[in-house]
Amino acid sequence: MTELILTVNHQHFSLDVPESRTLAEVLRLDLGLTGTKIGCEEAECGICTVLVDGIPVDSCLFPAFKGYGKHILTIEGLAQNGHLHPVQDNFIKHGAVQCGFCSPGLIMTSVALIDACPNPTDGDIKTALKDTYCRCTGYSSVIQAIKSAASEMRGKAALPVNEPVVEDTERIVGKSVPPYEVRDKVTGKARYTDDYVFPNMLFARTLRSRYPHARIVNIDTSAAEKLGGVHAVLTYKDVPGENLHGLVRRDWPVLCEDVVRYVGDAVAIVAADTPEIAAKAIALIDVEYDPLPVVSDPEYAHDPNAPHVHPGGNLLKHIKVRHGDIEKGFAEADVIVEREYRTPIVEHAFLEPECAIGVPEGVEGHDKLTVYVGSQIPYQDREQIAQAMGIVPDQIRVRGTLIGGGFGGKEDIAGQIHVAMLARVTGRPVKMLYTRQESLIFHPKRHATIIRIKTGAKRSGELVAVQAELYGDAGAYASLSDKVMTRATTHATGPYVVPNAKIDCYAMYTNNPPAGAFRGFGVTQSAFAVEQNMDILAEQIGIDPMEFRRRNAQRVGSITATGQELRESVGLVQTLDHVYDDMRQNGTLQWSWRDGHKAYGWGVGSAYKNTGLGGGAPDKAIAEVEAFEDGSVEVRTSSADMGQGLAHVLAQCVAEEFTLPYERVRVLLSDTDLTPDGGPTTASRQTFVSGNAARLAASTLREAFTRTAAEHLDYPPSELRYEEGLLHYNGDHVEFGDIVRWMKASGIMPKARHEYWAPQTRPLGEGGDMHFAFSYATQAALVEVDIETGEVHVLKVVSSTDVGRAINPLSLQGQIEGGIVMALGNTISEAFIVEDGIPWTSTLSRYKMPSIKHTPEIITRLVEDRVSSGPYGAKGVGEIPSICTAPAISNAVYNATGVRIYSIPIDQDALLRAIKNGHEEVHTTWSDVR
């Protein structure tokens, strides 16, 4: 130990810390400044950025003693006397904060940029923030926020907020109120799971399989147990209840007993005094494996001779859509196009790696075994923990913390059960934080999918038949594969009227990482195929691709391939019209052109996506609303806000119903003891179901308010009027808080609860309403291809999205921009590579999500074709923006170069070779370069 002298946020420190510390560790662990976040520890993500003598550095890779004597500025030091720094303030105003996990890093990097360059251009911003990632926003709002802050700091006016145009607004619904807790997110106060610290806390690590498929012969934990500072080493023998978990099908061992099925399968867990000791201990556990043959691709998995991943065989589910008469359909077709497409395994790369903390009953004021976790499904977590612990769910409390991004990747169990077990055994709080590298290999991903699709149309441009076969790589465990691949199947006709369809999807177990929920839920995969076949057909028929889509578009009254009649809220045609308008320059639309060695092309894609679980699954959410004497109202539900902005949607609905100022509504989410079940945060359902539950609970409470007030004031209820938190009557008014007091005095709890059931749906195969609503989108992408190098750049994306109703336009735009950029990553840069079951993508440096450099200009237009059962007409928006980007870009590349891309991410290497050799098709991708 040597004394470390530092100035941090203008305060002088002299610290006695180990020389092995990084600056991030000193800040977070020794100084408790948890505003600085850790996302990778590889100098890749940049979210740990702090300023050292004014210069941005990655604090995760900066030895603390390198900073000896220097001045460190962190996110906590930016605001002065309670006044936000202009960068913080503008990040809020321009909607540049979603989950907020990246915000400290982005803000610090931006502050340094403006200091060095007071009037930054887009180019300056893209250079300065190139390696500071955000997975949520898509960066457009970030760029605008920085320019606006810079302008203010030069003494000029802030820039206008780019908001999408909405049809009309209510008092609060339809307005861009700032997201909930956003101030905490830009000042570093917001706490994510790893920011919680309990006295006496232990640190846990997981020993994971090194083999994709192997029999466990023996597990010897004796050496690990003897290591000083180790408090527990647990294996399958120590699982008190059922040693299986799983969201749909319980097939995933809590700790593997006899077989491991993928690299990353958990074999043993350790709790120790420090993370270092825990890591040392897992290295001392000796597991003897007997390797088994590996099933590494879904088509091979279907081969009768393939080894079995699970005793019941490899077929997890065969999903079928049958509609009309497929033979007759193709017989009517003048043009038939049959192609094969491939999409890769995709990683969520949420910036906050998984973390869970277990606190035993009776410790630190916890009256039951409590698990802190940033989870998308708190109630199901609780149930799964209970099952594995062999206790009833009521004995467990799951407390949701802020989530640093989820996108579907935080629905499955990660460390929740493990920390509960370790906390029980040690009697102490236990934290399990995954490293980025562990997160990468462990959690379920997007299904790699092979799609063979045959589409037939008449010369007149009328679609007549679609036949498709899909192979989805479900990986080692079921997770949500059944549901995800069902969505891929039911959406495989695209948002069109197709009278005859036959679609078969095989979700196959393999020894690859499990696949589960991922924004777009299977529909991203089928859309990649459907929308390119549409363009190929249009070209062969000789019809404009927009017109072809328009002619076949679903409309009110159309029947889907699952036999559902669409009775309302089908805004597809309008989205096509919007995009067509925005693509044209000076009235004309040029699909492609050349300029020197650059080829340019536009491409389009359309999509639809269900809102809610559908398929006959009971889809409900409960919300509770309570009023307080101080005039505030709290809305409670266990739904998760992972950055998509559910909290403010709920607050807006409640404020609207009560005609209360938005600031007076508090939101409490995700606590199984304090908030009622909101169901899973998945399938773009929360605005719809929890939004409805909150709205209806609020209106029930408001009626009770009115009754009490009418009685107390002796005034007819019909003449009472709510306005801005006051109740007006007869020219006079009373405060909200007064009514609460009156209610309490007469023994009425100022509280209401509503259990909202979404409209009934029906299972696939039965016809009728499989879903209660669909969102629609059309996007066009403008690409630039360097025909000398094959490099592809997406310059612009024009989008129009039918969301039913925009409850918060700015945050909605954030969802759309973020969704588009995420999908752009899927098309251009992202693939999780697994070689014979062994992940090559074992570090973040091997997985590139889009950086600010990749952000195209994005135009967001909205269609508000209201759905009568949605809150104020709203339907889901979380997923629809991510679905048609990939085919739009691929179609654009074709239009620019004449080469069609059948496999993503687009490989510039193969594209260039195709251009040079006069080939029209590219079927390989980056992972085929070996």
Partner 1 sequence: MKVWNRYHTPSTIDEALQLLADYNGAARVVAGGTDLLIELREGARPPQEALVDITFIPELISVHQSNDHVLIGAAVTHDQITKSPLLNNHARCLVESCGVVGGPQVRNVGTIGGNVAHALPAGDGTISLVALDSEAEIILSGERQWVPIADMFVGPGKSLIDPTRDLLLGFRFKVQAGKSASAFERIMRPQGVALPIMGCAVSITLDDSSTIFEQVRICVAPTGPVPSRLSEIEDVLLGQEASEERIEAAISSAYDTVRPRTSKYRATADYRREVIPVLLRRTLHTAISRARQGHRD
Ligand X SMILES: Cc1cc2nc3c(=O)[nH]c(=O)nc-3n(C[C@H](O)[C@H](O)[C@H](O)COP(=O)(O)OP(=O)(O)OC[C@H]3O[C@@H](n4cnc5c(N)ncnc54)[C@H](O)[C@@H]3O)c2cc1C
| Residues lying near ligand X in the complex (CB under 6 A) | 43-44
Identify the helix (H) or strand (E) that includes residue 4: strand 2-8
What distance in Å separates the CA atoms of residue 366 and residue 375, rounded to the nearest whole number? 19
What distance in Å separates the CA atoms of residue 242 and residue 388, rounded to the nearest whole number? 5
Report strand pairing: 202-208 vs 230-234: unpaired
User: Using the rule CB under 6 A, which residue among 102, 150, 635, 701 binds ligand FES?
Assistant: 102
What distance in Å separates the CA atoms of residue 887 and residue 825, rounded to the nearest whole number? 13
Report strand pairing: 732-735 vs 726-729: antiparallel
* 135, 405 Cβ separation under 8 angstroms: yes
Query: Whose Cβ is closer to ligand FES: residue 132's or residue 209's?
Result: 132
Question: If contact means CB under 5 to 8 A according to the sort of partner, which of ligand FES, ligand X, partner 1, none does residue 601 touch?
Answer: none
Query: Whose Cβ is closer to ligand FES: residue 265's or residue 641's?
Result: 641
DSSP string, 166-183: -S---SSTTS-PPPTTHH
Q: Quote the least distance from Cβ 127 to ligand X, whole Å.
A: 14
- Per CB under 6 A, contacts with ligand FES among 108-137 are 134-137
Query: Whose Cβ is closer to partner 1: residue 108's or residue 505's?
Result: 108
Identify the helix (H) or strand (E) that includes residue 420: helix 416-426
Half-sphere exposure for 507 (CA within 13 Å, toward CB): 27
User: Using the rule CB under 6 A, which residue among 256, 292, 351, 883 binds ligand FES?
Assistant: 351
Q: Which tokens in the block code for residue 759? A: 């409209």
Query: Whose Cβ is closer to ligand X: residue 683's or residue 844's?
Result: 844
Q: Quote the least distance from Cβ 853 to partner 1, whole Å.
A: 9
Question: If contact means CB under 5 to 8 A according to the sort of partner, which of ligand X, partner 1, ligand FES, none does residue 127 touch?
Answer: partner 1
Question: If contact means CB under 5 to 8 A according to the sort of partner, which of ligand FES, partner 1, ligand X, none does residue 47 touch?
Answer: ligand FES
- Per CB under 6 A, contacts with ligand FES among 13-72 are 38-41, 43-48, 58, 60
Q: What contacts 891, CB < 8 A, 6 or more positions away?
A: 531, 532, 535, 545, 603, 604, 605, 781
Residue 130 makes contact with partner 1 by CB under 8 A: yes
Residue 65 makes contact with partner 1 by CB under 8 A: yes
Question: If contact means CB under 5 to 8 A according to the sort of partner, which of ligand FES, ligand X, partner 1, none does residue 98 touch?
Answer: ligand FES
What distance in Å separates the CA atoms of residue 268 and residue 255, rounded to the nearest whole number? 6
User: Using the rule CB under 8 A, which residue among 908, 919, 921, 923 binds partner 1?
Assistant: 908
Query: Whose Cβ is closer to ligand FES: residue 690's or residue 811's?
Result: 811
Report strand pairing: 838-839 vs 751-757: unpaired
* 511, 785 Cβ separation under 8 angstroms: no
Query: Whose Cβ is closer to partner 1: residue 57's or residue 770's?
Result: 57
The region of 60-68, 480-488, 758-766, 869-877 touching partner 1 under the rule CB under 8 A is 60-68
Query: Whose Cβ is closer to ligand FES: residue 48's or residue 579's?
Result: 48
Q: Quote the least distance from Cβ 552 to ligand FES, whole Å.
A: 37
Question: If contact means CB under 5 to 8 A according to the sort of partner, which of ligand X, partner 1, ligand FES, none does residue 643 touch?
Answer: ligand FES
Q: Phi and psi for 371 in degrees, rounded to 5?
A: -120, 120
Sign of CA dihedral 807, 813, 816, 819: negative
The mark string for 70-99 relative to ligand FES (x by CB under 6 A, - otherwise) is ---------------------------xxx
What distance in Å separates the CA atoms of residue 450 and residue 340, rounded to the nearest whole number? 7
Q: Phi and psi for 232 in degrees, rounded to 5?
A: -160, 140
Q: Quote the least distance from Cβ 24 to ligand FES, whole Å.
A: 7
Q: Phi and psi for 298 in degrees, rounded to 5?
A: -65, -30
Query: Whose Cβ is closer to partner 1: residue 270's or residue 667's?
Result: 270
> How many CB atoms lie under 10 A from the CB of residue 720?
19
CA 19 to chain centre: 38
Query: Whose Cβ is closer to partner 1: residue 394's or residue 788's?
Result: 788
Query: Whose Cβ is closer to partner 1: residue 41's or residue 297's?
Result: 41
Q: Quote the least distance from Cβ 63 to partner 1, whole Å.
A: 5
Exposure string of 374-410, with b = 16+ CB inside 10 Å and e = fewer, is: bbbbbbbbbbbbbbbbebebeebbbbbbbbbbbbbbb
Identify the helix (H) or strand (E) that includes residue 399: strand 396-400
Distance set, CA 339 to CA 447, 533, 542, 903 (Å): 19, 7, 19, 11
Q: Quote the least distance from Cβ 431 to ligand FES, whole Å.
A: 18
Q: Which tokens in the block code for residue 338? A: 């049959």
Query: Whose Cβ is closer to ligand X: residue 42's or residue 738's?
Result: 42
Distance set, CA 909 to CA 2, 377, 570, 833, 930 (Å): 52, 42, 41, 17, 12
Q: How far apart are the first and last CA of the chain?
A: 48
CA 464 to chain centre: 35
Q: Quote the least distance from Cβ 841 to ligand X, whole Å.
A: 16
DSSP string, 799-847: EEEE-S--SSHHHHHHHHHHHHHHHHHHHHT----EETTEES--SGGG-
Question: If contact means CB under 5 to 8 A according to the sort of partner, which of ligand X, ligand FES, partner 1, none does residue 659 touch?
Answer: none
Q: Nearest 10 degrees: CA dihedral of 682, 886, 799, 577?
A: -110
Q: Which tokens in the block code for residue 852? A: 């600010």
The region of 42-50, 568-576, 600-608, 699-707 touching partner 1 under the rule CB under 8 A is 42-50
Q: Quote the least distance from Cβ 185 to ligand FES, whole Å.
A: 8
Farthest CA pair distance, the chain: 87
Q: Quote the least distance from Cβ 842 to partner 1, whole Å.
A: 9
Query: Whose Cβ is closer to partner 1: residue 20's or residue 760's?
Result: 20
Q: Quote the least distance from Cβ 135 to ligand FES, whole Å.
A: 4
Count of residues of this chain found to bind partner 1 when the rule CB under 8 A is applied: 57
The mark string for 608-647 relative to ligand FES (x by CB under 6 A, - otherwise) is -----------------------------------x----
- Per CB under 8 A, contacts with partner 1 among 825-854 are 828-831, 833, 840, 843, 845-848, 851, 854
Q: Quote the least distance from Cβ 112 to ligand X, whole Å.
A: 17
Q: Quote the least distance from Cβ 22 to ligand FES, whole Å.
A: 9
Query: Whose Cβ is closer to ligand FES: residue 60's or residue 647's?
Result: 60
Q: What contacts 327, CB < 8 A, 6 or more positions away?
A: none
Query: Whose Cβ is closer to partner 1: residue 49's or residue 98's?
Result: 49
The mark string for 259-298 relative to partner 1 (x by CB under 8 A, - otherwise) is ----------------xx--x-------------------
Question: If contact means CB under 5 to 8 A according to the sort of partner, which of ligand FES, ligand X, partner 1, none does residue 395 touch?
Answer: none
- Per CB under 8 A, contacts with partner 1 among 66-85 are 66, 68
What distance in Å separates the CA atoms of residue 46 and residue 342, rounded to the nearest whole number? 32
Residue 769 makes contact with ligand FES by CB under 6 A: no
Q: Quote the least distance from Cβ 39 to ligand FES, whole Å.
A: 4
Q: Nearest 10 degrees: CA dihedral of 548, 551, 557, 559?
A: -40
Question: If contact means CB under 5 to 8 A according to the sort of partner, which of partner 1, ligand X, ligand FES, none does residue 912 touch?
Answer: partner 1
Q: Which residues bind partner 1 (CB under 8 A)?
A: 18-20, 41-43, 46, 49, 55-58, 61-66, 68, 109, 127-132, 275-276, 279, 788-791, 828-831, 833, 840, 843, 845-848, 851, 854, 905, 907-909, 912-913, 916, 926-927, 929-930
Binding residues for ligand FES (CB under 6 A) = 38-41, 43-48, 58, 60, 97-102, 134-137, 351, 405, 643
